[in-house]
A and B are shown apart, each in its own frame.
Chain A
Amino acid sequence: MSTNPPTNGQMAPLKAKDFATDQDVRWCPGCGDYSILKQVQTVFADLALDKDKVAVISGIGCSSRFPYYMETYGMHSIHGRAPAFATGLKIANPDLSVWVVTGDGDGFSIGGNHLMHALRRNINIKILVFNNQIYGLTKGQYSPTSELMKRTKSTPMGSIDYPVNPGAFALGAHASFVARSMDRDPKHLKEMLHRCHEHAGTTFLEIYQNCNIFNDGAFFAFTEKDTKEDNCLFLEHDQPLIFGSEKSKGIRLNGMKPQVVDLAAGKFNQDDLWVHDEKDIFKATLLSHFFDDPRENGALPRPFGVIYASERPTYENMLEAQITEAEDGGADLDALIAGPTTWEIK
């Protein structure tokens, strides 16, 4: 199973293929997962990660086959529970770089509870959510992120199940890092993966992923050339919120209300715009609710990039600190077994 590895990246620069396994990749041809796999392998190579110090943990679903294709340690676990396995692994061995791969069904439906708690605990694991707004592996039922009235095999008259907003969910769970990217923008995706790696704490990266078999084009409004610029708002820290094909549109805050303004019209200029601040939880919360259907008139653009990033102590570091504090003074096993009171029978 394991090919004999080069010891680490110090000899020659690593390549993406150094993180590829000998297993045939089994996703459908054209699936967005291929691009994500490629970018992850590329970034791990760029970062010169020691593959023996990386573990990729997944749940169940198309995306969760991911660990089989990564030449690192890995576990393909059970449905929805990957964050819990990753938590135990990271606590046991804080030196590992632990990545969780999950999908919209695995992460928000059966595993919603674990995702929420991993995020609030801020254990240093990297969570990648491949969102394709459909159940792929079970062949095409609507998922928790599918849009209202979506017709699928299990919703012949259209879904009446209101969709979850992943970014708002993550912020609501007090995630210390929330970002969004897409399979069809390799450059942006790689940048976001780098950011995840750098952040000390749980990172939540939602990746729009095209399922060309059961939900083809779900994100075309954001990913395809002719509509992308008008529908996507690429966030950069300390920069004003500008989007549109001619960079002609911006977002200003009218009180608490975000408003799209036309920079060409003359009434507003760049200085009037909302400046992105990754560390501002209030602004991040507003941004996470930029969740309009792009086909609607006057829809706010969908934010991509780092919506929120603010470090705080990680769970495993706090646990280690408590143990170190408690260990001070030593521990005697015989004293433990004897307890406070003993008596002798002669």
Chain B
Amino acid sequence: MSNPTIQEEVTIKFAGDSGDGMQLTGGLFTDNTALTGSDLATYPDFPAEIRAPAGTLPGVSGFQIHFGSVQIFTPGDEYDVLVVMNAAALKTNLRALKTSGTIIVNTDGFDKKNLRLAKYPDDENPLENGSLQGYEVIPIPITKLTRECLAESSLSTKEQDRCKNMFVLGFLYWRYSRDMDETLKYLNSKFSRKPDILQANVSVLKAGYHFGETTETYSARYAVKAAPLEPGVYRGIMGNEALVMGLITASKKSKLPLFYGSYPITPASDILHGLASYKKFGVKTFQAEDEIAAVCSAIGASYGGNLAITGTSGPGLALKTEAIGLAMMLELPLVIVNVQRGGPSTGLPTKTEQSDLLQAMYGRNGESPVPVIAAKSPGDCFFTAIEACRIAIQHMTPVILLSDGYIANSAEPWKFPKASDIPEIEVTFKKANPDEVFEPYQRNEKLARPWAIPGTPGLAHRIGGLEKEAVTGNVSYDPANHEYMVKTREARIEIIADYLPLQKVEAGPDQGDLLIIGWGSTYGAIASVTKSLLARGKSVAHTHLRHIKPFPKNLGELLKKFDKILVPELNNGQLAKLLRDKYMVQVYQYNKIQGMPISKSELEHAVLQLLD
């Protein structure tokens, strides 16, 4: 066997019909890649429809992975390798394939019917008309070979065809010089009760691998080495998964039972599924009748002394608006997770966007300040969840945590912490004191009021959404008191900044020509552009905001140290607006509103233009 060619980084896109199992193939390839020690980032590209008709363009489901022996920040711009299971998959994905890239193609997905469904002109087959000239095309009759491999099996043709993704996986394992043990273990546990299906998947996986070996003559073999990641123990992590674990960790660290009230919505539902499966940690999940009941039940649970969370996506946040205003007025701890998706209205449910920042900041009636924090990567969702809970509890306030569809569903290697390394979250429930009259709105040094939960002897009191008198919390329509309370509610959110770390530059100089400032899922793209421009000697720095309301105390100072400020965002310039408003600085924008992450190359191009 020839020695494999060593590559530094590779981007592969798996694309097929929703029924072709591309997400699973991508996921297994990702797990396998992680075990080689390469760094990686992935990005699933779900069809908008649950089950669009087979073979059609809207039915194409994709999974992208970028891995390398260097640090990997993004799922990659253009692919080196495109795997297509049918004609529709080729048509929707070809445009992002690199010039002279490789196409691994299931030729059985290009019959007359498939071509027609993919809307190719009559009698035109892209595999035969020369349109793929310049690419390396590896044609494999995958469906046929899969069926041949399973000729002896008791499975129906339909069931046999479902194994063809394993052929692809096996072939790629051969191509990238991989070991299959972990995948075999996975299949064994997944199908332990279905020996026929297990056997079929294993055979086809091996058949794909052997096909690579025997046809070596026309297809080269590659390997990507381990990346210089920090030493330690790693796992693969996706954003929603990390949120689930972060919330449970916060519950344990605060010794408060976790209550999660939610209504199913893409792309936040996996948080509900995840938490519902961890009842053993005492987690109470409540699938409410609607978004409003979801947040209201959480407020009720918070009043009752639980660590209360509600999760949703943009349209759901809009529905929760009035109740969040009440939580702000009641000054009760609550975390509202918003896994943002493309808006406005129903928008692009399966696509990513950062366009709910202003909604999170301002989307309530009256003067209604609520802390806003954002996660920057899948692993960071874990820490951001804990941070949101800490702020909510210690400052007695609802907190909005922003994630997005990209972070939620993409994966990265994560050097996870030990539970014992996470600090405890101190909780003090008010107890009656015979020497004092209990005042529900008496404030401490953080301007936070006491958390007095029903059932506590001697503290019976009433709270509500009507304006309240300072200290006593009694209903008050007094004009001066109202203004005082509005100012106090703003001050008590701003005071949180006293308890936050100062904003740091992630990469690059502390002062210079250009500061790129981002928040949320643009982290990877900005980090990779900054790294490459610094290597070229440019005076560029990157800072990334976790805390948006309130901003870290030194942010204004930091901004002043650079000649230019650029804010890349997946929206029309929402953080840029906030920065201009607060600091009166000139801010350049780079905005992409296509339901997709910002790519490294387009951002690099924009930065270079600004530096000229």
Q: Give the B-binding residues of A (Cβ under 8 A).
A: 1-2, 4-5, 7, 21, 23, 51-55, 57, 67-68, 70-78, 81, 83-93, 95-96, 113-114, 116-117, 319, 322-323, 325-331, 333-334, 336-339, 341-346
Contacts and interface: CB of A to CB of B under 8 A. Distances in A.
A63 B34 CA distance: 61
Contacts of B231: 344-346
B233 A338 contact: yes
A321 to B, nearest CB: 10
Contacts of A54: 454, 460
Contacts of A328: 280
Contact of A52 (B34, B233, B298, B457): B457
Contacts of A68: 462, 464, 475
A323 B257 CA distance: 11
Contact of A86 (B37, B300, B323): B300
B460 A77 contact: no
Given A81-B323, A333-B249, A1 B439 contact: yes
Contacts of A333: 248-249, 252, 281, 419
Nearest to B462: A74
22 contacts: A52-B458, A67-B462, A73-B462, A74-B463, A78-B323, A85-B303, A87-B297, A88-B261, A88-B298, A88-B299, A89-B301, A91-B259, A93-B304, A116-B289, A117-B293, A329-B280, A337-B382, A338-B233, A339-B236, A344-B233, A345-B230, A345-B232
A96 B37 contact: no
Nearest to A67: B462
Contacts of A345: 37, 226, 229-234, 415
B462 A113 contact: no
A232 to B, nearest CB: 34
Given A2-B460, A345-B37, A345-B226, A327 B279 contact: yes
A84 B297 contact: yes
A7 B457 contact: yes
A84 B296 contact: yes
Contact of A21 (B300, B382, B453, B462): B462
Most buried by B among A7, A76, A329, A333: A333
B474 A23 contact: yes
Most buried by B among A67, A337, A342: A337
Given A88-B261, A88-B300, A338-B233, A93 B455 contact: yes
Interface in B213-233: 226, 229-233
A91 B233 contact: no
A117 B287 CA distance: 11
Contacts of B248: 333, 336
B100 interface: no
A38 B330 CA distance: 27
Interface in B381-421: 382, 415-419
Contact of A85 (B245, B296, B415): B296
Nearest to B249: A333
Most buried by B among A83, A90, A339, A343: A343
A141 B294 CA distance: 30
Contact of A78 (B288, B322, B418): B322
Contact of B418 (A2, A88, A334): A334
B474 A52 contact: no
Nearest to A71: B460
A337 B236 CA distance: 11
B466 interface: yes
Contacts of B182: 341
Given A73-B454, A343-B37, A344-B234, A323 B300 contact: no
B296 A1 contact: no
A329 to B, nearest CB: 7
Given A323-B282, A345-B226, A88 B296 contact: yes
B304 A113 contact: no
A75 B464 contact: yes
B113 interface: no
B28 to A, nearest CB: 11
Contacts of A85: 296-297, 299-300, 303
A139 B182 CA distance: 70
Contacts of B465: 76-78
A52 B462 contact: no
B144 interface: no
A334 B420 CA distance: 8
Contacts of B257: 92
A76 B466 contact: yes
B301 A338 contact: no
Nearest to B37: A345
A46 to B, nearest CB: 19
B306 A92 contact: yes
A326 B277 CA distance: 9
Contact of B292 (A84, A325, A344): A84
Most buried by A among B31, B37, B292, B473: B292
A342 B233 contact: yes
A92 B326 contact: no
B462 A76 contact: yes
Most buried by A among B34, B229, B235: B235
B375 to A, nearest CB: 16
B464 A117 contact: no
Contacts of A81: 292-293, 296, 323
A338 B235 contact: yes
Contacts of A93: 304-305, 453-455
Contacts of B135: none
Nearest to B456: A52
Contacts of A76: 462-466
Contacts of A113: 289-290, 293
Nearest to B474: A1
Interface in B27-71: 31, 34-35, 37
A114 B293 contact: yes
Given A1-B439, A90-B304, A344-B232, 12 more contacts: A2-B460, A73-B459, A91-B304, A92-B259, A93-B454, A113-B289, A336-B278, A337-B419, A343-B37, A343-B233, A343-B235, A345-B229
A337 B278 CA distance: 12
Nearest to A64: B464
A327 B282 contact: yes
Contacts of B462: 1, 21, 67-68, 70, 73-76
Contacts of B290: 113
B440 interface: yes
B590 interface: no
B455 A334 contact: no
Contacts of B323: 78, 81
Contact of B459 (A21, A52, A57, A342): A52
B286 interface: yes
Nearest to A88: B300
A325 B465 CA distance: 38
B438 interface: yes
A12 B305 CA distance: 31
Nearest to B473: A1
Contact of A96 (B278, B304, B416, B418): B304
Contacts of A2: 437-438, 440, 458-461
A323 B455 contact: no
A94 to B, nearest CB: 9
Contact of B461 (A1, A7, A90, A117): A1
B308 interface: yes
